[in-house]
Structure 1
Amino acid sequence: MALVLSEEQSMLRDSARGLISDKAPVSHLRQLRDSKDPTGFSRDLWKTFAEMGFSGLLVPESFGGSGLGCVEAGVVMEEIGRTLMPSPFLATAVLAASALSRGGSAAQKSEHLPKISDGTLLAALAIDEGAKHRPLRTNMQAVRSGNGFRLNGAKAFVVDGHTADLLIVAARSAGAAGEREGLTLFLVDPNSKGVETERTAMVDSHNAARIIFDNVELNADSVLGEVDQGYRLMEGVLNIGRGAVAAEMVGLSEEVFGRTVDYLKERKQFGKRIGEFQALQHRAAQLYIDIEITRAAVLKALQSLDADVESAGAAVAVAKARAGSTATLAVQEGVQMHGGMGMTDQFDIGFFMKRARVCQELFGDSNFHADQLARLKNY
């Protein structure tokens, strides 16, 4: 398949870019941060997102969505990356919608997917428990209790967890930490007795939460997918999320590159525009090449996910690893080429550096995915 967007996908990109650049420039994030907004994103803007059909991109048409694929979700994520827009799109419209569509029962789909599509339900995926992304190390306990389960444990780095109306939680119903067998996904109401949510301040001014589960009682209908067989579903959903985050980092990298090139054309030193200095030209050219290669890798991963989620792991690992290293290079070069003022809070480039750092860690950093690729290729 050609590594270019179709006409329809290009139209979706233009639509998303027009809305996001107009309603959510970087100043929008700055205002939310400075006002210490308790939600951390604009609910009015999310409503507009839903009205334009973005929240239902991955929801099947039979449940009120568009029934599109990961490439289309990646298109929107790339535009979100350009302005650093804080939004529940990743947590709700990508991760939760994918989990429910792929693993939900008929009743679960009917109850939740239409609400995701119309923007009235926010959801979050609660996987990680430590400082690094290690899904197989899940140790949260799900013990059988009556006709259901009792959850005990804690989750960290739950994206948009403090605003979620529904939590999708990974817990160990059998086996030991590190084993693939014995993982189960659960649908949990965050208002249930025993659930305690704490919003955590992230360096990039986006949303995350730490959630504690203390003897949370769930019935059998709360199981998403199959008991003890949740790893396959979880890994597929995580790969979709990884592809989406990689697309966000492409948008972020390209925006930083564009801003930096504009600055090189304007800033004068020793009577010349600094963009005339060959050393900076070489560095800018190298960054441009890096971004374009990463863009191709990310689009390939998204296309692979749409073709077959189960066999897309290698392509996703390449894309997420490359996107992380490219975004890191882009923001480092951007800050350095802007000189001392690039380090000041008054200048927007620092916001991109902080977001790139968080996206690098989200769902596995470059080292994690290099290791994943090596294991998949039996190195």
Structure 2
Amino acid sequence: MNFQLSEEQQMLADSAKRFVRDNHDVEKHRQNKKLMPLDEATWGQFAELGWLAVPFAEEHGGLGMGPLETMVLLQELGEGLIMAPYIATVVLGGGFLRHASDTQQAETIPSLLEGGLQLAFAAEEYERVFTLENTAMKGEAQGDGVMLNGTKACVLNGDHADQLIVLARTAGQPGDKDGLSLFLVDANDEGIERTPHRTVDGRQGAEIRFSNVKVSEAARIGELNQAYDIAKSVLLEGLLALSAESTGSLAVLLNDTVEYSKTRKQFGLPIGKFQALQFRMADMFIAMEQTKSLLMAATLKLVEGHDDAAKAVHAMKAQLGRAGRKIGQEAIQIHGGMGMTDELNVGHFVKRLSAVDGLFGNADVHLMEIARSA
């Protein structure tokens, strides 16, 4: 099978590689972790480079690309730990907008492509293992609309988003796939309270409380009580995007560890000469290659519409959690005490991988999804 990039995909990868080279280092990342406001200059560059338009159809002003191109872009950005809400706004938010009404699309997509609109997917909740069907937040019919009440936890980009895509239960009980609905909600509507927070990797999110928030019929995305399939399809793309970004981070951890082993000396020899450490770095390489292979397989299956595409994505997320732990721990240990410090890349990448493992279900959750579909 030919895995070579097309000319357009290669240009996309090259532009991201240059951006990371020119805009990322440890000090830059350390500064970004201290800033609560979004780096608007960086987001503006994303818009100018056309990256915000990658997954959107040409009729909406996009580039008409898809998950493969998103994977190529995010693998490169993952090597730089670029702290921009691309996945929250473009992949997840944009994915839901593709299922929105013509009016909703006309009101949102042009602004998003220009860098003027931020989105967030409010799905995760407290006290429940994350799956879409475990959603409990209430959406009760009232007149010609729905009243939202409840709390969403760890909403990526929830503190900066202008619009929220809210998953709510309008019928049934937690655990039912039927009875879920999606709503596009103004983040500044009355009754919405946002509590910003930082995640372990320094990125931004929010806890969002909804208290008698009235949304109209026009705000709904898709059919009432039938949002599961839409949410699932968009979430699968989001999981692939997170995985693609993380494979870039895995590559940096491996490469930095190998380079360190060539320069750090013990007993008069570079530590990379010791067979025990060679074995450990070989295991890191194998774990990374397995992850990259699964990422490619899952992405192609999703693009081509295979029946087991969802299972492949769950397998990818489960593998990512295990590979991230394996490679991250080995990188820290081989770097010794320095691996734990804020001075080196290693700790920052390990924190990012730890955060990604917990997003939208950790490795164990996705293994259970595979078991249920067997």
TM-score over 0.5 (shorter chain): yes
Tell whether 2:304 aligns with 1:337: no
Q: Give the 5 Å matches for 1:226-375.
A: 226-308=223-305, 312-375=309-372
Contact 2:145/2:215, CA 8 A, preserved across alignment: yes
Amino acid in the other structure paired with 1:276: K
User: Displacement, 1:20?
Assistant: 2.2
Q: Among 181, 185, 188, which residue is 1:184 paired with?
A: 181
Asked if the contact 1:186/1:224 (under 8 Å) is kept, the reply is yes
Please report how far the alpha carbon of residue 223 of structure 1 lies from its aligned counterpart in structure 2 after TM superposition. Answer: 0.3
Q: Which residue of 2 aligns with 1:23?
A: 23
Identity %: 39
Counterpart residue number, 1:143: 140
| Pairing 1:195-234 to 2, within 5 Å after superposition | 195-234=192-231
- Residue 152 (1) aligns with residue 153 (2): no
Counterpart AA for 1:187: L
Query: Could you say which residue in structure 2 is the equivalent of 1:37?
Result: 35
Counterpart in the other structure of 1:116: 112
Q: Note the C-alpha offset of 1:110.
A: 1.4
1:112–1:121 Cα contact (<8 Å) kept: yes
How far has the Cα of 1:311 moved from its partner? 5.1
Separation in 2 of the partners of 1:98 and 1:183? 17
- TM alignment of 1:47-58, pairs within 5 A: 47-58=44-55
Cα deviation, 1:288-325, whole Å, max 9, x if unaligned, reads 12211210110121122222287520110111111221
Q: Secondary structure at the match of 1:37?
A: coil
Q: Secondary structure at the match of 1:163?
A: coil
Kept after mapping to 1: 8 A contact 2:36/2:204? no
Q: Deviations over 1:115-137 (max 9, x none)?
A: 22221111000000026423221
Shift of 1:82: 1.0
Alignment of 1:34-113 (within 5 A): 36-39=34-37, 41-101=38-98, 103-113=99-109
What amino acid does structure 2 have at the position aligned with 1:92? T
On the 8 A contact 1:3/1:296 being kept in 2, the answer is: no
- Superposed CA deviations along residues 246-289 of structure 1, whole A, max 9, x for unmatched, are 11111110010010001000000000000000111111112112
**Is residue 149–residue 212 contact of structure 2 (8 Å, CA) maintained in 1?**
yes
Cα separation, partners in 2 of 1:47 and 1:310, compared to 1, 3 Å? farther
More off after superposition, 123-132 vs 46-55: 123-132
SS in 2 for 1:227: coil
Gaps of 5+ in 1: none
- Give secondary structure in 1 for the equivalent of 2:198: coil
Unaligned runs of 5+ in 2: none
Q: Is the 8 A contact 1:200 1:209 kept in 2?
A: yes
- After superposition, the C-alpha distances for 1:16-62 in whole angstroms (9 at most, x for unaligned) are 111123113333220122xx3122x4111111111111011111111
CA contact (8 A) 1:28 1:85 kept: no
Task: Give the match for residue 125 of structure 1.
Answer: 121
Shift of residue 352, structure 1, vs aligned partner: 1.1
Q: Indicate if the aligned counterparts of 1:23 and 1:45 stay in contact, CA closer than 8 A.
A: no
Q: Structure 1: which amino acid aligns with 2:13?
A: R
Instruction: Tell me, in whole angstroms, the C-alpha distance in 1 between the residues paired with 2:27 and 2:131.
Output: 34
Q: TM-score, normalised by structure 2?
A: 0.97
User: CA 1:148 to 1:320, structure 2 compared with 1: closer, same or farther past 3 Å?
Assistant: same
Which residue in 2 is equivalent to 1:12? 12
In structure 2, relative to structure 1, the CA distance for the partners of 1:367 and 1:209 (3 Å cut) is: same
Structure 2 residue identity aligned to 1:20: V
Equivalent residue letter for 1:37: L
Cα distance in 2, alignment partners of residues 342 and 31 from structure 1: 19
Q: 1:112 to 1:311 in 2, by over 3 A?
A: farther
Report the number of matched residues: 373
2 CA distance for matches of 1:147 and 1:332?
54
Please give the alpha-carbon distance, in whole angstroms, between the structure 2 residues aligned to 1:172 and 1:2.
44
- The one-letter code matched in structure 2 to 1:278 is Q
Q: 1:163 to 1:134 in 2, by over 3 A?
A: same
TM-score normalised by L of structure 1: 0.95
Distance in structure 2 (CA, Å) of the matches to 1:221 and 1:358: 35
Note the aligned Cα RMSD (angstroms). 1.4
